[in-house]
């Protein structure tokens, strides 16, 4: 069995397409656990219309509280019965064969604890914007690489053995952003991961997405994730230094875009001091800033 987990907060515009993408999976043994995280826009009422469907279990926090994505995923994990776990954000979609293909890969590779795939970013109307991974993407199974760059997504993208979550622990509920990067690091520190080069998910890009609204919180949380990772696992010192440079650069961007030049400049200077070669490449245009 695969347990698909969706935390949902105020996603009335997209949640129907998300749910239908799970219900249309070609893989036969699926339970779908949706946690409404204190929605106020009609999301809960839309989800309640699916409650008679035998595949779906709808959960809420006590008193309908909004407790965040990590707490919602932990609630879903506490009742999940599947050998495999697939997490899907409430505004994204699975390709109909996603679970079939990734579970088949994991069944044939018992040494792999997480398998992820390629996919497409789409807009509000499901129009394709870009490919998530280039054609030459390779998985190197190096935690240092993942610490430097969260280059694939635990929501939408991956199928994980339940036993790996048991070993890695639960999502950090004090993090209201970047909890995906934290969990991915703890997973790759514990198990081998693999890339399947097929397009099996759709990642929604829109102005109301968590990734668009909480950039400052994401990078602030990134410093704490880095601190914990360095204490927990023998990452290379150069990786830790360069990741700290990235975080300072991103914080500088946040302040600069907000018109807070005085707050931005110290972060940019620190980024350059921690990783001068990369700083020079950015200044000269050799590396384009995404």
Is the predicted pLDDT of residue 213 greater than 70, yes or no? no
Is the predicted pLDDT of residue 131 greater than 70, yes or no? yes
pLDDT of amino acid 54: 80
Under DSSP, is residue 280 helix (H, G, I), strand (E, B) or coil? Answer: helix
Among 67-81, 200-214, 262-276, whose mean pLDDT is lowest? 200-214
Among 30-39, 78-87, 279-288, whose mean pLDDT is lowest? 279-288
pLDDT of amino acid 209: 53
Domain parsing of the chain, residue ranges = 2-212, 236-283
The verdict on domain 2-212 having CATH code 3.30.200.20 is no
Under DSSP, is residue 164 helix (H, G, I), strand (E, B) or coil? Answer: helix
Nearest partner of 50 among 70, 21, 20, judged by Cα: 20
Nearest partner of 152 among 109, 107, 121, 175, judged by Cα: 121
Residues of the chain with pLDDT > 70, as a percent, come to 98
Query: Quick one: pLDDT band at residue 208, thresholds 50, 70, 90?
Result: low
pLDDT of amino acid 178: 92
**CA–CA gap between residue 179 and residue 101 (Å, rounded):** 26
The residue with greater pLDDT, 208 or 38, is 38
Hey, CA dihedral for 218, 220, 221, 227, is it positive or negative? positive
Query: Quick one: pLDDT band at residue 210, thresholds 50, 70, 90?
Result: low
Q: What is the DSSP string of 48-70?
A: HTTTTSTTEEEEE-GGG----HH
Query: Quick one: pLDDT band at residue 206, thresholds 50, 70, 90?
Result: confident
Under DSSP, is residue 194 helix (H, G, I), strand (E, B) or coil? Answer: strand
Angle at 117 between CA 112 and CA 121, to 5 degrees: 150
Q: What is the DSSP string of 90-121?
A: TT-EE-TTHHHHHHHHHHH-TTEEEEEEEEEE
Q: What is the pTM of this model?
A: 0.92
């Amino acid at each position: 069995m695969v347990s698909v987990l969706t935390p949902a907060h105020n996603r009335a515009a997209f949640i129907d397409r998300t749910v239908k993408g799970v219900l249309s999976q070609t893989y036969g043994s699926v339970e779908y656990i949706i946690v409404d995280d204190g929605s106020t826009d009609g999301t809960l009422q839309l989800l309640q219309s699916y409650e008679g469907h035998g595949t779906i279990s709808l959960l809420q926090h006590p008193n309908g509280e909004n407790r965040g994505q990590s707490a919602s995923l932990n609630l879903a994990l506490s009742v999940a019965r599947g050998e495999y776990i697939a997490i899907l954000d409430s505004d994204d979609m699975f390709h109909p064969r996603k679970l079939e293909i990734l579970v088949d890969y994991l069944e044939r590779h018992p040494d792999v604890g997480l398998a992820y795939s390629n996919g497409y970013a789409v807009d509000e109307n499901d129009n394709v914007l870009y490919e998530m991974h280039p054609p030459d993407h390779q998985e190197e199974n190096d935690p240092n690489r993942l610490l430097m760059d969260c280059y694939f997504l635990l929501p939408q993208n991956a199928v994980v053995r339940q036993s790996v979550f048991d070993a890695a622990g639960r999502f950090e509920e004090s993090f209201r952003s970047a909890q995906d990067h934290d969990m991915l690091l703890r997973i790759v520190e514990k198990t081998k991961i693999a890339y399947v080069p097929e397009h099996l998910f759709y990642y929604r890009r829109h102005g109301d997405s968590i990734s668009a609204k909480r950039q400052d919180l994401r990078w602030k949380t990134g410093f704490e994730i880095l601190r914990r990772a360095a204490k927990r696992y023998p990452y290379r010192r150069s990786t830790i230094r360069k990741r700290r440079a990235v975080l300072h650069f991103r914080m500088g961007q946040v302040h600069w875009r907000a018109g807070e030049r005085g707050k931005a400049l110290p972060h940019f200077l620190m980024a350059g001091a921690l990783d001068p070669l990369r700083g020079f490449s950015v200044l000269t245009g050799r590396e384009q800033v995404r």
